[in-house]
Amino acid sequence: MSQNTRAWWATRLFVFFAVVSSGCGPRRITAALPPSRLRWVLSPSAIASLSSDHDTLGVPAEIRLGDPLGRSALYLKFPNDWSQHGLIRQAFLTLTPSDGAVSDDSPISVEAWRVKSDWQPEQLHAWSDKPELGPPYARCDIPSTPPRALRIDVSELVRFAASDPQRDFGLALLSRGGEGRGLAFTSGMSGGNAPELDVYLR
């Protein structure tokens, strides 16, 4: 190997190791993305629960869905700080079952809708008080045996909120009365987990 060839290879190796050690390689660039900015777990900034069977006052310790006594609606608002940090990949709304929740064999059908007008928790007491709802919406059926967390994909609703923040008035979960006893979830008002909005960005 000639002296010029050896000098050429020495220069190439020096440049290679300099680039790797300086953190410019692909692995370093990927690791530089802050994981805390790619997933946001949010608690409600406002929450209200309504039943077609009776008036409500405040938020109960339990949120009941699929109760045989009538229809139920859960209204939720969430902070939107995440909207400035990336595009939405997916978003999920999660409710946690209450301790000792009783199960039965009847599945629970739940729908999530966009709320079309502003509301405050103290304004919602009777079923007739509920704000108007509109698309986009999401739907899921959850088995009630055994009691488990409700996790519904609300990606389209959250994308709408990000694209039109002036019309972001939260979302509502609706369920109809069923033949079984329904399911009870924690509201966070008296212990347990409040509903959570899990937003994944890209």
Per-residue b or e along 88-124, where b marks 16 or more CB atoms closer than 10 Å to that residue's CB: beebbbbbbbbeebeebebbbebbbbbbeeebeeeeb
Q: Lowest-pLDDT range, 19-33, 78-92, 125-139, 182-196?
A: 19-33
Same domain for 13 and 41, yes or no, is: no
Same domain for 71 and 148, yes or no, is: yes
- Confidence at residue 135, expressed as pLDDT on a 0 to 100 scale: 94
**In the chain, what is the straight-line distance between the N-terminal and C-terminal CA atoms, in Å?**
50
Enter the tokens of residue 73. Answer: 């609606």
Query: In the chain, what percentage of residues exceed pLDDT 70?
Result: 74
Structural domain that includes position 4: 1-32
- Confidence at residue 83, expressed as pLDDT on a 0 to 100 scale: 74
Same domain for 107 and 186, yes or no, is: yes
- Confidence at residue 34, expressed as pLDDT on a 0 to 100 scale: 44
Same domain for 131 and 98, yes or no, is: yes
Helix (H, G, I), strand (E, B) or coil at 66: coil
Same domain for 73 and 128, yes or no, is: yes
Same domain for 55 and 136, yes or no, is: yes
Report, as an integer, the average pLDDT of 166-181.
84
Same domain for 110 and 190, yes or no, is: yes
Same domain for 83 and 106, yes or no, is: yes
Same domain for 48 and 138, yes or no, is: yes
Same domain for 18 and 96, yes or no, is: no
Same domain for 6 and 104, yes or no, is: no
Q: Lowest-pLDDT range, 6-15, 45-54, 151-160?
A: 6-15
CA distance 55 to 50: 7
pTM to 2 decimal places = 0.76
- Confidence at residue 26, expressed as pLDDT on a 0 to 100 scale: 30
Look at the chain and report how many structural domains it folds into: 2
CA 157 to chain centroid: 10
